[in-house]
Homo-oligomer: A and B are copies of this chain.
Amino acid sequence: MRDVTKENITDVFMGYMGPDMDPRLHEVLESLVRHLHDFAREVNLTHEEWNKGIEFLEAAGAISDKERHEFVLLSDVLGLSSLVDMLHSSPEGTSSSVLGPFHITGSPPLPVGGDLRKDFTEQVLLVEGVIKGPDGAPIPGATLDIWQTAPNGLYSSQDPDQDTYSFHGLQTVGADGRYGFTSVRPVEYTVPSDGPVGDILRACGRHPWRPSHLHFIVEADGFRPLVTEIFASDDPYLDEDTVFGVRRDLIMNYEEMEAGTFPEEGFELSGKVTDPYLKVRFDLTLVAAD
């Protein structure tokens, strides 16, 4: 094309596409490149700014490895990850929320009522609820993959002082759909801000904090898998999660329970908790698979 102009270059680009191209790729790429070109035209992007963008992408690539996923973090802090979650979240079920980079596979089985707190000495937290369908009926055999920070704000994969599966467990519920475990209250933490994405946050006058949360992946035959997190109603960062993960239906309350009220049975710690403890009740609703 020898008559390419700043007005027609998007059409020229699409004219290059071959006839056997996958139709969905064609649709996605057309929209992506039209928006990219519209952006450049709209702000009259300069060569210097273009250069800064290239340098940013190269720096994000250079800091990335199997453990560090700077492009995921970029997507998270730009709200793209949460937008994709919301696009595919059903209003009939519990909202999904970002998976984040700290999930690990192979968590050990955790019986219903099992304990994740182990040798930590912080106040006991009891979490329980029912995994159910949109009709409210429990889903027997559903699995709940659970992970959270230790009291120091670190996930096990970030912390050489924790065992690999510290504060990780995989629970399978029975006929009543009930899940339950003991742990400690997770704490708020910062996303990694020592790289190019951190530079963006600083340039925007943004902090890198996330409100504290419990991570869940819920799966059951015939239902859409649910990747989500639940957040404390009293968390200082609830209204400013730097990765936009909070949804109103994912907010839970920590109930302060008096000494001597811990359940006498059904939990691994039954009979062992004599102090006041915290309790969260949160049901999880799955929707039918597509």
Contact = CB atoms under 8 A, between A and B. Distances in A.
A241 B3 CA distance: 12
Interface string A27-56: 111011101111111111111011000100
B57 A204 contact: no
B46 A88 contact: yes
Q: Which of A17, A35, A83, A85 is the most central at the interface, judged by chain B CB atoms within 10 Å of its CB?
A: A83
Interface stretch (A61-69, A131-139, A156-164, A254-262): A61-69
User: Which secondary structure characterizes the binding site on chain A?
Assistant: helix
A88 B45 CA distance: 9
A244 B206 CA distance: 38
Contact of A204 (B5, B18, B62): B18
Interface string A1-42: 111111001101100111111100101110111011111111
B78 A1 contact: no
Nearest to A32: B39
A87 B44 contact: yes
Given A71-B58, A75-B50, A1 B81 contact: no
A247 interface: yes
A128 interface: no
A82 B244 contact: no
A259 B4 CA distance: 38
A161 to B, nearest CB: 29
A206 B107 CA distance: 45
Contacts of A206: 16-18
Contact of A80 (B1, B40, B46, B251): B40
A86 interface: yes
Given A39-B31, A71-B57, A84 B47 contact: yes
Nearest to A200: B29
A186 to B, nearest CB: 18
B2 A28 contact: no
A27 B43 contact: yes
A79 interface: yes
A78 B33 contact: yes
Contacts of A46: 84, 88
Contacts of A203: 21-22, 25
Given A41-B83, A80-B37, A49 B28 contact: yes
Given A47-B88, A58-B61, 6 more contacts: A1-B239, A2-B246, A21-B204, A31-B43, A41-B87, A61-B64
